[in-house]
A and B are shown apart, each in its own frame.
Chain A
Amino acid sequence: MLVVDYRSERLSRLRSLLSVLTYPLQALASLPVDLSHSFADTVISFVELQKENRRLKEQQFVNDAKLLKLAALEKENTRLRMLLENSFQLGEQVLVAELVSVKLAPYEHTVVVNKGTRFGVHAEQPVLDANGIVGQVIRALPSSSEVMLITDPDHAIPVQVNRNGLRTIAFGTGQPNRLHLPFLANNADVVPGDLLVTSGLGGVFPAGYPVAVVDKFEARPDKSFANIYATPKADLEKSREFLIVWSHSTPVVLGEPGKPPADAQDGRESANGAP
């Protein structure tokens, strides 16, 4: 039975069926924490609310200004891509999911969110929060799904350095808020403070989302690879709301409608920002 579950998808129906029984238990276990949060929301003071409101308004203002520029840039990008005749865009759609406060296994960085296959969630979907990549869906059940965080020791995510497009892989360490980049040479052009973004390779994570900031570069003269650590951008410990993303990896052609699509492989490579 263990082997069958490991090797094939045949038992997933049984798992969904049993999850109908176990989801209420998870919801019950999450109740005290949820209640304390809603209580904290209810008794927040007027002054604090005012402060938060002002802060959010300022942020909204700044974001609006950025968005204006972004729209112009996007237009320009599309125009340039059309000139190159390999133009396409990635359509993306998101769903907000809330954290269910349960701990599945203490030594794993896996969380449960309250949206499942009933909302069309499926395995291997990327999960974000407002600041960056959080992880990916590893199993979708009818009314909940399990999300593996990028800090899980079994997790690896393809990234590139935003400054110079250097590609590598970031591994989780098992410690909260720490990523490890073991495959960069000692003379690699990485300095603390560099932003790592998803490279889009591997097909799970869409390209260009912030993942982490490099905080330690440790050259090891006796080894061929350096020891590099990074801190995730996303608030993995504190976020209670996540975005589950549907990214259509099939390119959508933007050129003239009658024209046959340009070489898709070519297009994908240029979209990943290869230098």
Chain B
Amino acid sequence: MARLDVLAGTYFVVTVAAAMVLRVMSLFPAMDIFNPDWVALVLIYWAIALPERFGVFSAWTVGLLADVLTGRLLGQYALIYALICYFSINEHRRLRQFPIVQQCLWVFFCLLGSQCVTFGLESMRAGNRLQLEFWYPVLSATVAWPLVFMVLRYIRVMARIV
């Protein structure tokens, strides 16, 4: 059992780190505005798959790191990820039964909420500007969800983490 804890923890850390790298990577500068919030997607997956292991606190910690990584106010992503994780864990039984399209819808609303919080905080900090580009990551994250879901489920099944 302890071995499984360590294993799950390791995979959690590795996947979240990989998501963070993807988050700030800029291979094609023209595509940057479509770069989805990979960290949120990975957190949603783990919250659905292993709600008894990774909870709101781990999401909060990851969010704090994401704040430093992307140079936001400390606590912005911590708040967002904690909220997303809380709702996903609350609904995890239902979400597991959902077909992938319905899960995409869930992801869409999670990311929309996250973007709204971001927008609220940023406009509190410095002027109001609502551009179309601001909402692109929400759509791209929705499209990217099936991919993230498949890859992470493959990893989880391969590593036999339950």
Contact = CB atoms under 8 A, between A and B. Distances in A.
Interface of A: 1-2, 5-6, 11, 14-15, 18-19, 21-22, 25-26, 28-30, 32-33, 101-107, 110, 139, 141, 146, 153-154, 174
Interface stretch (B69-77, B97-105, B141-149): B69-77
A154 B127 contact: yes
Interface of B: 17, 20-27, 29, 32-33, 35, 64-65, 68-76, 78-79, 121, 125-127, 129, 131, 133-134, 136-137
Nearest to B70: A104
Contacts of A28: 21
16 contacts: A2-B75, A5-B73, A5-B75, A6-B73, A6-B125, A19-B68, A25-B69, A26-B69, A29-B22, A29-B26, A32-B27, A103-B35, A104-B70, A105-B71, A106-B133, A110-B71
Given A25-B24, A28-B21, A104 B71 contact: yes
B interface secondary structure, majority? helix
A245 B12 CA distance: 42
B75 A32 contact: no
A22 B63 CA distance: 12
Contacts of B74: 1-2, 5, 11, 14-15
A264 to B, nearest CB: 33
B76 A25 contact: no
B25 A139 contact: no
A25 B20 contact: yes
A148 to B, nearest CB: 10
A2 B70 CA distance: 15
Contacts of B25: 29-30, 32, 102-103
A18 B65 contact: yes
B53 to A, nearest CB: 21
Contacts of B79: 2
Given A32-B27, A33-B26, A106-B35, A2 B21 contact: no
